[in-house]
Amino acid sequence: MGAQQRVYKQRIRSAQGMKKIFKAKEMVAASRIAKAHARVEATTPYADALTRAIGSVATHSSEVSHPFLDTDRKQTGRAGILLITADRGMTGPYSHNVIREAEQLANTLRDEGKEPVMYVVGRKGDSYYRFRNREPQRSWTPYKENELPSLGREIAAAVTEDLVTEDPTVHLDELYVVSTRFESRFVQNARSVRMVPMGLGDVRGENAPTYPLYEFVPDAESVIGELLPRYIESRIINILLQAMASEHASTQRAMKTATDNAETQINKFTRLANSARQAEITQEITEIVGGADALSGSGRTER
């Protein structure tokens, strides 16, 4: 019985240690969500303003053209997929959800006769594809949360270069981004969006918003040429920040569940240890009473 109690007590200590770790990570993630969400809110207006400016140019300059606006552009059939995953573990289903979304998108593109090309951010996505001998075209890992804006600019420069290059082995006809949209602390949705080409139907269609009329200097073509690369950069930075806020929220929920499970294990093994101790005491009492009865029956008494 004593050996059994030692096993239970060891498991209790182990569960208590894990509980402290999970609780600490839960509190850290909770403290970072608000700050991460504030950074998302700070970058969203700029990205939206660029979108409105592009819409204004496209709406009031019907002859404007740019490769990123050409929905019929097709040279190589290669479609880039920028996948945003976590750079660390203990994030719950966060990385799994976006990887699954990326795989579904890749299968859809293959069915359309296109070749998906992976660009991966984060260790989880990078290791997923390398383990399956499907090495990404480019990967960015590890990365730090406070360096996301500079990382976003680096990624935007890399994918833009591949979108405009004439090299058929590198050129991309399309660019999709698969990431997690932060809705709230409790709701985050994995999604895929096409960033390039940017459909003019979105800004010229019947349901498009009304854009103000601007005078473009030196001309609309030059303005759109400046705005579109900035649009890609601002959107990627905003997406990275949304993904980080979603990662913190997912980590908080995962660590809360892990803390509760550890507490359940502690209670379970505590009950088992108490039962083993009670059984041991009962056995000792039974042995003492049995020994006393044996001495009494033999007519002997101990001195």
Q: Tell me which residue has tokens 């979304």.
A: 101
pLDDT, tens digit, for every residue of 97-114?
999 999 999 999 999 999
Encode pLDDT of 13-61 as tens digits: 999 999 999 999 999 999 999 899 999 999 989 888 887 777 777 666 6
pLDDT (tens digit per residue) in 211-261: 556 666 777 777 778 888 888 999 999 999 999 999 999 999 999 999 999
Instruction: Tell me how far CA of residue 238 lies from CA of 43, 149, 152, 174, 244, in angstroms.
Output: 6, 8, 8, 20, 10
Kindly report whether the peptide bond that precedes residue 149 is cis, defined as omega within 30 degrees of 0: no
What is the per-residue burial (b if ≥16 Cβ within 10 Å, else e) of 145-160? beebbebbebbbebbb
Nearest to 35 by CA among 248, 252, 300: 248
Stretch (H or E) spanning 173: none
Domains present along the chain, CATH in parentheses: 1-21+257-290 (no CATH), 26-252 (3.40.1380.10)
Residue 62 has pLDDT above 70, yes or no: no
- Give 205's pLDDT tier (boundaries 50, 70, 90): very low
- Is 60 exceeded by the pLDDT of residue 290? yes
Q: Are 38 and 189 in contact (CB under 8 A)?
A: no
Q: Taking Cα atoms as reference points, which of 196, 157, 159, 194 lies closest to residue 177?
A: 194
Q: What distance in Å separates the CA atoms of residue 226 and residue 215, rounded to the nearest whole number?
A: 15
Beta-bridge mates of residue 191? 179
- Say if residues 181 and 91 touch (Cβ distance below 8 Å): no
For the chain, what is the mean pLDDT? 85
> Could you tell me the pLDDT band of residue 4, with boundaries at 50, 70 and 90?
confident
Please tell me the predicted confidence (pLDDT) of residue 54: 78
Which pLDDT does position 52 carry in this prediction?
78
Asked whether residue 10 carries a pLDDT value surpassing 70, the answer given is yes
Q: What is the pTM of this model?
A: 0.82
User: Residue 303 has what pLDDT?
Assistant: 47
How far apart, in Å, are the Cα atoms of 267 and each of 185, 263, 277? 29, 6, 15
Query: In this structure, what DSSP letter does residue 233 have?
Result: H
Which residue in this structure is represented by tokens 């005491």? 281
pLDDT band at 207 (very low <50, low <70, confident <90, very high): very low
**Position 247, amino acid:** E
Residue 273's pLDDT band (cuts 50, 70, 90): confident
- What is the mean pLDDT of the segment spanning 198-219? 56
Q: Which pLDDT score, from 0 to 100, does residue 199 have?
A: 60
pLDDT confidence tier of residue 139, bands split at 50, 70 and 90: very high
- CB neighbours (10 Å) of residue 19? 18
Residues 6+ apart with CB under 8 A from 259: 19, 22, 23, 26
Q: Three-class SS of residue 179?
A: strand
